[in-house]
Chains A and B, each alone.
Chain A
Amino acid sequence: MKVRWGRLALFFVLVAAILSTIALTTRDILNNLTLGLDLRGGFEVLYEAQPLEKGQKITPQVLADTAQALQNRIDVLGVTEPELSVEPPNRIRVQLAGVPDQEEARRVLGTPAKLTFRDESGKVLLTGQDLKEGGAAQDYDETGQPAVRLKLKDADKFARITREHVGRIMAIYLDENELSAPVIREPIPNGEAIISGNFTVEEAKELADLLNAGALPVKLVEKQSFAVDASLGKLSLQQSLEAGLYGILVIFIFIIGYYRLPGLVASISLIAYAYLVLLTFVLLDVTLTLPGIAAFILGIGMAVDANILMYERIKEEMRHGKSIPAAVKAGSRRSFLTIFDANITTVLAAAVLFYFGTAGVRGFAVSLIFSIAVSFLTAVALSRILLNLLVRANVAKRPGLFGVKGDEIGEL
């Protein structure tokens, strides 16, 4: 049989296309990967919201408002990309990556937000707890200017304070940050005040949010914290990537040594596999953590399995005396269901894991599920296509290329 150059050319074009795409875009993909705190350094803390007063309920709304309050404090720190997630029923997880001053971050987050109303001398007149929950709202004053409307719990107390401080400033502080410094124009009897100033609508709304958030009588208790030095994170990343590289190299040497031509095909599809898994991570914005990388590297080891299953089948068919094209066809067909059954059970386990896992374990489960899906695609589809091209091009004619010895082949 003559070599069919067209098929062979197609094989090389396909391989070149795959490898060059990977070579050209890998850098971008790596740069766009979201790395977990353990890999880039940073600070994570899990708070539990506890009621300040007896009988108070922690509702989803209260949690959301508290998260907003924390967000506002983080903005004060100037951290880019803070991540806050509410974990019902009563937890809030805060992740700060690349905090320049970890110490300050801990201090600012660790102490509960405190909203105070102070006179000129700094004496605290009222606190956030005097405000009605959700009692601040953006509104307009009598001249039509954007303003903030406040409702207080105790109208009498407010009336007394405003009476005593007419004409003076009552500054509003969130912790030690002055939010606004309105002047009391007249005593306010009904427990409702309007703060006007040169606000835009957005500013007024923001102040109202801050007041509401600061007014939340929620105690935040640190339940878990995790801090990694940026340099240490970098070291972990570097080490795990190095480990991955060595592992993959040994795997390649092994499968090419054992399976020869199909092994080479498998190596190409494994490279595609690794690339596609990273691509899905970027597209789905999966946060890559240390165990995630470990799962990824291990996934490569497992992805080889689908190839090995197929090649062993092919070898078996060849030993039974089938021609190489027939053996490849029968081998890939007969291995398909096995690969399917074996993988679906693992996906099942990973899905359950995802459903029950917490943040870290979830990331791991997601990595596992996508690794399997992609491994299915590359091992079953890509490996088959490439191998078939080679076989149909009539270049893979010797059983030795498949790691089958001549004397093993029986008579049909």
Chain B
Amino acid sequence: MSYNWDFVGKRKLFFLISAILLGAGILSLLIQGLNLGIDFKSGTRIDISVKQPVDVEQAKKEFEKLGYEHPSVRSGQEGKVLIFRTDEALDKEKVLQIQKHFQQVYGDSFAGFQEQRIDPVIGRELARNAIIATLLASIGIILYVTIRFEYRFAVAAVLALLHDALFVIGAFSVLQLEVDVVFIAAILTIIGYSVNDTIVIFDRIRELMDQVKPKSWEDLSRVVNVSIHQTLIRSINTGLTVVFAGAALFLFGGESIRYFSLALLLGLFAGTYSSLCLASQIWVVWKWRSMQRVKERPAN
């Protein structure tokens, strides 16, 4: 291969980059938390579709007329969707009142109305189940990879997937983007992709380990570097095709899945990065330590 970038040698840099990014995310989570959608908080969300772009300030005034103080209104989809959110679980009559009011205000350009109301209990349950699901999935992955490979690979793969999930959650906290139930699905897709990507590289490392049987740190790190290089084109190409799909969803998929697509895109980048720059590096450091320990033991 003409390119010979030292992925293992740069490991400290990668660890540092990830530590900074995750640190910022965690800090943001601690300070400002997540901008929870009504799925996780009690409240109502109303989406009003309009045929022409709308004036958000004007819409805010309309909501004030209906008695909502400082209404949270934003627009999406080139201004053609008006999104109103309140922490109050509005009853049917109030929702109807809003619908009727805006039907009048926009007249013929009123195109559609969507309403969602959730009790926080349900949202909390969902979030709890998602966390349990992630942990169980992690355990399942560790078990499977341990049986097929070895436990160091398994733990490194799981650390990489937790990194990716945490990175996206952190990014959503920093940018204060709204987190809803679909976000959970996005995180879980990211986890699936991340593992997939990591396993392919580990598979190659294992194959080379059987052939080379490295004794020194140089040998070991060369095995990892060669493995990454041999699968690099595949990693990039697969990453690209998935990003094509994710980007198409983000650009053309409509307002309702915009944040879902964004989470996916961020996660796909994180997943490719962690597979190339973190997972193998965690493994190689760990593996080298245990190799040295084995070496020392007979001497003692």
Contact = CB atoms under 8 A, between A and B. Distances in A.
Interface stretch (A145-153, A203-211, A308-316): A308-316
Interface in B119-178: 119, 121-122, 125-126, 129-130, 132-133, 136-137, 140-141, 144-145, 148, 157
Contact of A345 (B116, B136, B196): B196
Nearest to B129: A356
B199 to A, nearest CB: 4
B129 A308 contact: no
B292 interface: no
Interface in A298-355: 298, 300-302, 304-305, 308-309, 312, 316, 337-338, 341-346, 348-353, 355
Interface residues of A, number: 69
Interface stretch (B20-28, B56-64, B236-244): B236-244
15 contacts: A225-B117, A239-B253, A246-B252, A247-B245, A290-B256, A294-B249, A297-B248, A302-B238, A338-B199, A338-B200, A338-B204, A352-B137, A356-B133, A356-B136, A361-B130
Q: Considering the complex of A and B, which 6 residue pairs feature the smallest CB-CB distances, nearest first?
A: A247-B248, A232-B112, A301-B245, A239-B254, A243-B252, A301-B242
Contacts of A352: 133, 136-137, 140
A297 B137 contact: no
Interface stretch (A3-11, A58-66, A248-256): A248-256
Contacts of A250: 244, 248
Interface string B167-193: 000000000000001101100110111
Select the residue from B111, B188, B233, B260 with max chain A CB neighbours within 10 A.
B188
A345 B115 contact: no
Contacts of A235: 49, 111-112, 254
A103 to B, nearest CB: 6
B96 interface: yes
Given A224-B117, A225-B115, A349-B195, A304 B130 contact: no
A349 B140 contact: yes
Contact of A223 (B122, B140, B144): B122
A38 to B, nearest CB: 7
B113 A345 contact: no
A144 B115 CA distance: 53
Interface in B262-299: 264
A133 interface: no
Given A243-B252, A305-B241, A357 B234 contact: no
Contact of B132 (A106, A251, A291, A356): A356
Interface residues of B, number: 70
A228 interface: yes
B248 A246 contact: yes
Contacts of B130: 356-357, 361
A140 B252 CA distance: 64
Main DSSP-derived SS at the A contact region? helix
Contact of B234 (A38, A236, A239, A309): A309
A316 B189 CA distance: 30
B17 interface: no
B112 A229 contact: yes
Contact of A342 (B119, B132, B133, B199): B199
B253 to A, nearest CB: 4
A353 to B, nearest CB: 5
The binding surface of chain B is classed by DSSP as helix
A362 to B, nearest CB: 10
B300 interface: no
A255 B244 CA distance: 12
B145 A316 contact: no
A229 B256 contact: no
A251 B241 contact: yes
Contact of A110 (B92, B184, B191, B192): B92
A129 interface: no
Contact of B113 (A229, A242, A343): A229
A312 B204 CA distance: 13
B29 interface: no
Interface string A356-385: 111011001100100000000000000000
B203 A295 contact: no
Given A235-B49, A304-B241, A358-B129, A349 B191 contact: yes
Contacts of A355: 133
B80 to A, nearest CB: 10
Q: Which of B92, B191, B197, B251 counts the most chain A CB atoms within 10 A? A: B92
A360 B230 CA distance: 39
B256 A38 contact: yes
Contact of B240 (A254, A294, A368): A254
B107 to A, nearest CB: 15
B115 A227 contact: yes
Q: Which of A110, A290, A297, A301 has the most CB of B within 10 A?
A: A301
A123 interface: no
A199 interface: no
A364 B182 CA distance: 10
A240 interface: yes
A240 B245 contact: no
B141 A232 contact: no
B114 A291 contact: no
A294 B260 contact: yes
Contacts of A27: none
Contact of B246 (A38, A232, A301, A343): A301
A25 interface: no
A364 B185 contact: yes
Given A223-B121, A312-B234, A103 B248 contact: no
B247 interface: yes
A107 interface: yes
A246 B254 CA distance: 14
Interface string B37-72: 000000000010100000000000000000000000
B237 A258 contact: yes
A254 B241 contact: yes
B103 to A, nearest CB: 11
Contacts of B141: 345, 348-349
B249 A361 contact: no
Contacts of B49: 229, 231-232, 235
Chain A CB within 10 A, most for which of B111, B125, B244, B252: B244
Contacts of A360: 181-182, 185
